[in-house]
Chain A
Amino acid sequence: MLWPIDLAILTLVVIVAIGALMVKDLLGAAILFGAYSFMMCLLWTIMGAVDVAFTEAAVGAGASTVFFVGAVFRTSRRTKD
């Protein structure tokens, strides 16, 4: 396990999570959530959990993001908050 990669990806994960909750455009929040999911997958690969990382890559960065985008297109895209 390489410690600098671990710490760098952890910091990036926190920044992307805060970013996904702060943007005013719901489509941007959905895409940032997909990026957050993908970085979690990288973290788990570093820790040796290959099955969990495979599932998160397929489910989180794949199916979850598409569900979000589908739901955002059926409702409104702007938010005040």
Chain B
Amino acid sequence: MADIVSTVVANYNYWIYITLMMIGLYAIIAKNNLVKKIVGMNIFQTAIILFYVSIGAKKGATIPILEHGHNGHGYNVVHAIDYVNPLPHVLMLTAIVVGVATLGVALALAIRVYNRYNTLEEDEILAQIREE
């Protein structure tokens, strides 16, 4: 019993990130409105970015900008344990910008669908397609 409790207490952060991911995934599958689906897609993306960034955190470390700069050519010794891991940050910068590009294209598609079928609800659109 104490084993399960200690597992829960140590990993509760990951469980909350997984809950956020599942909220986003449920919205993409089950919601009827197209704009709500797009909101769900973005919630999913940011939850994954949150998960990746949290991997790089270190206890008692500072932000990944070197403190002493460069004083001439005598560089101070830098210890990797003092700085937060910068590699997930780099990958997630690309992910955020690609996310906003995808959002733009998805909203453009939603506007085109609205111009053609005059509604944004998925069941009404499918009914109109079946009638044609």
Contacts and interface: CB of A to CB of B under 8 A. Distances in A.
A48 B35 contact: no
Contact-residue bracket for chain A: 35 or more
A35 interface: no
A51 B23 contact: no
B96 A60 contact: yes
Contacts of A10: 13, 16
Contact-residue bracket for chain B: 35 or more
B89 A51 contact: yes
A81 B40 CA distance: 14
Given A13-B20, A29-B36, A49 B84 contact: yes
B100 A81 contact: no
B23 A26 contact: no
A63 B100 contact: yes
A21 interface: yes
Given A17-B20, A76-B119, A81-B36, A49 B56 contact: yes
B32 A81 contact: yes
B125 interface: no
A43 to B, nearest CB: 7
Interface string A11-22: 001100110110
Interface of B: 13, 16, 19-20, 23-24, 27, 31-33, 35-36, 39-40, 42-43, 46, 49-50, 53-54, 56-59, 61-65, 84, 88-89, 92-93, 96-97, 99-100, 103-104, 107, 110-111, 114, 119-121
